[in-house]
Structure 1
Amino acid sequence: MSQVESTLIGVASGRTTLRELRRILRPRAGLAAGAVLMMVVAAAAGIAVPVVIGRVVDEVLAPGAGGGSLTGPVLLLVALAALAGAAGLAAELLIARVGEPAVAELREEVLEHALHLEYGVVEDSGTGDLLARVSQDVRALADVVRAVLSRFGGAAITLALSLVGLAVVDYRFALAALLAVPIQVWATRGYLRLAGPTYRSLSRAEGAEVQQILESVQASGTVRALGLGERHRDAVLRRALVTRGLRLDAVRMRTVFFQRLNLAEYVGTGAILAVGGWLVARDAVTAGAATAAALMFIRLFNPINIVLALLEDVQAAAAGLGRLVGVLESPRREVPPGEVAVADRSVAFASVGFGYHADHPVLHDLSLEVAPGERLAVVGASGAGKSTLGALATGLRLPTTGSVRLGGIATSELAPEALRHTAALVTQDVHLFRGTLREDLLLAAPDASEDDLAAALDLVGASGWVAGLPDGTDTAIGAGGHPLTALQAQEVALARLVLADPPVVVLDEATAEAGSAGARQLEEAIERATAGRTTIIVAHRLSQAARCDRIAVMEHGRLVELGTPEELMAAGGVYARLWAAWARGSGEPG
């Protein structure tokens, strides 16, 4: 199993899924009962039609029967058809009033829970899997509510009442009809044995396929730069082929299923006709009663096929429901009750160890203190653990061993809301939300005034280009909006940071995408935006690190050097070698 598949968010058990379903439907129990009642009325009206037709046959065959005697039955047939149609429509409306709000409520609960999951859970599982759950799985569930549930429930009730009706006409008709049941049971058991695992596997494969596509699209720049297009295309193709294979398995499974159902129909119809002829010949029943029984059984074909055919949709919806409830089961960060406030702006790592997987530690016994208001740079080769250190400092990740403290309080003891107001992370991958620039900025501080927005933009050096936008801060940005350069996007992120006003800031290679000239401009903006804040800068540009109070040098997940830029240069150690190598490549003085 691939890493993508092995880290997906779990799927809830059948018992847990049913418990959640009952919880969501409980407030709508009255409407659900009304829907069942309307389905019973519609089914009963439909079953009464063959009985009336049987009476018509007896009337026609009766000696001296006149045309006038058919008027009443014909009017009754019209009334029954109208009643069945009206009751069926009412059942559909009631089911919609039960199901649509329930699906919407579940979707909102899943989304709200997902937004508060541990950062590592979402990152390790991949956004593609989560996206598939809140889109494809919700859509499958909604489709069942809209187009399947009323037909499935109505057909199931019709099936049960029809068997009762056959027994009322003559119990031997019911016995004859039961000859088809073993074949139907055989067909259904074979189908259900395969359907559940097949659709669960298909749901997982679709999630993994979406995740692979998202990863390839999001990293398109890197893919093109490194010539990895063919490799990523092959990876997407492999995922697509797995999904296609499972879909073909489902088609083959369904085809065999219907072939067996057709066999059951032939056996049952032959048995009903044979029994009816035998009973009429012995004067045990009238021809009308035999006709009613035959019509009643033939009418069973449709509800039986509906129930069994719609099992595929119900199975798919059940699998999707289990995946949605699986999100709700995923653990959220447990925070002790009561509000905990940080005492100051310090950051402290005490014997911290961390690994994304149990057998692959990334940080080893890291101890480090950052004083309030200090600016600390973290440097090192790729894979040294710098970004992980930043994620731990903001509480996005929790240490495997040891503790990380913000203002003297362990990050594990701070509620997400308290963490959000205490520490903020700005990365090189800035997301601009779809909407106006003003709306994007107000996400960080919903109550900010126009003066606050203008001051934040001016502080980070963005006021000039913002004034040149077509509609100023009312200009649409993000997907489909006015394009911004990498430098401008980073300045928007810094303006959001200023508006959010956290005491602790982590900048994870925030100047990496700005280019050399832009990076220098951005470094100055960063200094202004972070003035007075405790700042940890994960730096790939050592010129930025050289402007910090102290520098922490990481190697293979360990802190190997710590000191001021002057101290580390004088020591002639790892940092001095990194500086010399970087200076040769950048043209900076050594």
Structure 2
Amino acid sequence: MSERPTDNDERPTEKRETPTLLPVATPARTRAAVAELVRPQRRLALGALTVMVASTAVGLLVQPLLGRIVDLAADRGSAAADAITTTALLLVAVAVAQGVSTGFGLSLISRLGETTLARLRERFVERALGLPLERVEKAGAGDLTARVTADVSLIADAVRSALPEFARSLLTIVLTFGALAVLDWRFLLAALVAVPIQVVTARWYVARAVPLYARQRVAGSAQQQQLLDTVGGGSTVRSFRLEREHTERVTERSGSLVALMMQGVRLVLGFYSRLHVAEYLGLAAILATGCWMVDAGLASIGTATAAALYFHSLFAPVNAALVLLDDAQSATAGLARLVGVTDLPPAQAPARPAATGEVDVIVRGVGHSYRPGHPVLSGVDLTVRAGERVALVGASGAGKTTLARLVAGIQQPAEGTVLVGGVPPAELGAAGAGRTIALLTQETHVFAGPLADDLRLARADATDDELRSALQQVDALDWAEALPEGLRTVVGDGGHRLDGAQTQALALARLVLADPPLVILDEATAEAGSAGARALEKAVARAVDGRTALIVAHRLSQAATADRIVVMDTGRIVETGTHDELKAARGPYAALWDAWSDTRSPGAS
């Protein structure tokens, strides 16, 4: 009677519903959210803008100084040679001043961007952690995972590279057009020949890039979700011979993403080709205007040279600004997905206070399904008395995990009522439910850091003696103190690796520290071997002593020690009683016990 629960534990052969993805913010709301994040840093933003304007203005002195050198060289006098030297020194001074001011300005912009990004991350994590697990599961773990990894990484790259470069390029463009007007308004008109093509190109690109990148993000989430389902549920996939179906799904999702990526490549190539046409038309217009003005005596050769250099210097910033639209559109799509989560309403405050003493569990007429017409639970009635330890047993797909999740408040029943201490779990709120109910599964996470800090996640003010007492209660103190630095040993990623039994013992010690009145264990000893499982079963018994406990039993030996056993089959309770009573009744439980006992052998799990 060995089974591994997965998200599909109750419905392994059914097709999934289409995920209800988490919301994506509109462009207007995304802009408003950015403004809200930047508003507290108005002074920093103004300072960065001022420094960058000054730096760009200083840099624009290079072209007229070079034009001056051209005019002086044309005079060929001795005085001209001295003037050229002086002008060259001015060019050096301009280069130094621009370099220093640009570095300072870019550092201010980077600081502004990083601070804003940090605030966005904090808001996103806060809201994501407050989402009901049912909402996250409906969207699929891949959706939230893609937002917190790929989207955040994309935005971070944009903030660190694209944002400073875009700001610098935009200022250069605006001030360079102003400098052309100062030289002569006719040079400005000639330069503007390229603008209509650039504007049309930008509009053409944005109109196609925004929806394309949004579809790419969604396709990436779908691919990631499918990979998580296929790899994470590998045992179930193999058990039901679904390898070919899941491989086809992965191929289909990956093919859709590749097609969208290639569409993006073609879009970018068309974008570049249009930009090149604009550049050469504009430069031709400037050169023709300069030749005409010099020939007509309206401008010197140096002035015409400065105008041509000004326009040529626009190639890099204009192209950079327009090319950065590629990064900007991709980052904007990711930003909209983050803002969509941060705009979700916060969890409601608990309508009723959390239970502080012993609690009972009452389940009345509960029915539940993951898709219409395919019930997982039907007419379930169950009462767990305060302080009672009840084990749920049954074949895979019987409905045990679903019932446990409904009692834990992770999901709401489609029919009937679930009461914990007389209160529906949903009405306790996230904080109240956390103080009242503890759910332990086989998937326990070890957070990176000292073991003591990991334990204090359950109770931040716990003393070292209380940590040791909790470990002692679950028979984990000996191995914990035997670690290289005892409770100060760094565990988790990059630290000391704990085995499956130790990880579950750590979860049980957290449970003791949290001290909730109701404990729900869903296959909590499934990852351990036989010897480790027996030790964990004893630790579980001590950890839940004095609490109301609902245990989804992985091993019937664990169920046999419960105060009462509830046998489930196809979503219904078919038998209930003590181990001895059910064995004597020779019903479904006795058949399960006999089959389980026959498969037992030394070292078997």
| TM bin (shorter chain) | 0.7 to 0.9
Structure 2 segments unaligned to the other structure (5+ residues): 1-14
Partners in 1 of 2:545 and 2:23 — Cα distance?
43
1:83 — aligned with what?
Answer: 97
2:197 — aligned with what?
Answer: 183
1:21 — aligned with what?
Answer: 34
Q: CA deviation at 1:532?
A: 1.2
Change (3 A) 1:372 1:548: same
CA offsets 1:276-298 (integer angstroms, 9 cap, x no match) = 22233333333333222222211
RMSD in angstroms over aligned alpha carbons? 3.3
- Local SS of the residue matching 2:459: coil
**Which of 561, 565, 568 is matched with 1:547 structurally?**
561
Q: Which moved more, 1:79-88 or 1:262-271?
A: 79-88
- Local SS of the residue matching 2:393: strand
CA offsets 1:31-80 (integer angstroms, 9 cap, x no match) = 11121222222232233332343344445546967333445544443443
Contact 2:350/2:430 (CA < 8 Å) preserved in 1? no
Contact 1:113/1:328 (CA < 8 Å) preserved in 2? yes
- Whether 1:41 aligns to 2:54 is yes
Contact 2:283/2:308 (CA < 8 Å) preserved in 1? yes
Q: CA deviation at 1:425?
A: 1.3
Partners in 1 of 2:594 and 2:339 — Cα distance?
54
- Local SS of the residue matching 1:414: helix
- Local SS of the residue matching 1:399: coil
Partners in 2 of 1:365 and 1:399 — Cα distance?
11
- Whether 1:197 aligns to 2:211 is yes
Q: Write the letter of the residue equivalent to 2:58.
A: A
Q: Write the letter of the residue equivalent to 1:104.
A: A
CA offsets 1:253-292 (integer angstroms, 9 cap, x no match) = 2222112211111111112212222233333333333222
1:320 — aligned with what?
Answer: 334
Change (3 A) 1:572 1:265: same
Contact 1:426/1:510 (CA < 8 Å) preserved in 2? yes
Percentage of identical aligned residues: 47
Q: Write the letter of the residue equivalent to 1:531.
A: D
- Local SS of the residue matching 1:419: helix
Partners in 2 of 1:146 and 1:454 — Cα distance?
45
- Using the size of structure 1 for normalisation, the TM-score is 0.88
1:100 — aligned with what?
Answer: 114
**Which of 296, 307, 315 is matched with 2:310 structurally?**
296
CA offsets 1:358-384 (integer angstroms, 9 cap, x no match) = 675533443322111111122222222
- Whether 1:53 aligns to 2:74 is no
2:294 — aligned with what?
Answer: 280
Q: Which moved more, 1:372-381 or 1:426-435?
A: 426-435
CA offsets 1:148-172 (integer angstroms, 9 cap, x no match) = 2222112112212222333343333
Q: CA deviation at 1:341?
A: 4.2
Q: Which moved more, 1:114-123 or 1:359-368?
A: 359-368
Equivalent residue pairs, number: 587
Contact 2:517/2:547 (CA < 8 Å) preserved in 1? yes
Partners in 1 of 2:284 and 2:368 — Cα distance?
71
- Local SS of the residue matching 1:291: helix
Q: Write the letter of the residue equivalent to 2:41.
A: R
Q: Write the letter of the residue equivalent to 1:292.
A: A
- Whether 1:447 aligns to 2:461 is yes
- Whether 1:9 aligns to 2:9 is no
Change (3 A) 1:239 1:20: same
- Whether 1:263 aligns to 2:261 is no
The 5 Å alignment of 1:147-546 reads: 147-215=161-229, 218=232, 240-336=254-350, 339-341=353-355, 344-357=358-371, 361-466=375-480, 469-479=483-493, 481-546=495-560
Q: Write the letter of the residue equivalent to 1:51.
A: P
1:31 — aligned with what?
Answer: 44
Q: Write the letter of the residue equivalent to 1:455.
A: S
Contact 1:343/1:408 (CA < 8 Å) preserved in 2? no
Partners in 1 of 2:94 and 2:476 — Cα distance?
73
Structure 1 segments unaligned to the other structure (5+ residues): none
Partners in 1 of 2:33 and 2:396 — Cα distance?
45
Partners in 1 of 2:520 and 2:465 — Cα distance?
26
Q: CA deviation at 1:98?
A: 0.9
2:10 — aligned with what?
Answer: none
Change (3 A) 1:89 1:357: farther
2:6 — aligned with what?
Answer: none
Change (3 A) 1:428 1:107: same
Change (3 A) 1:476 1:61: closer
CA offsets 1:448-505 (integer angstroms, 9 cap, x no match) = 3344333333333334544555554444443455454433433332222222211111
Q: CA deviation at 1:533?
A: 0.7
Partners in 2 of 1:250 and 1:229 — Cα distance?
32
Change (3 A) 1:69 1:473: closer
Partners in 1 of 2:539 and 2:56 — Cα distance?
72
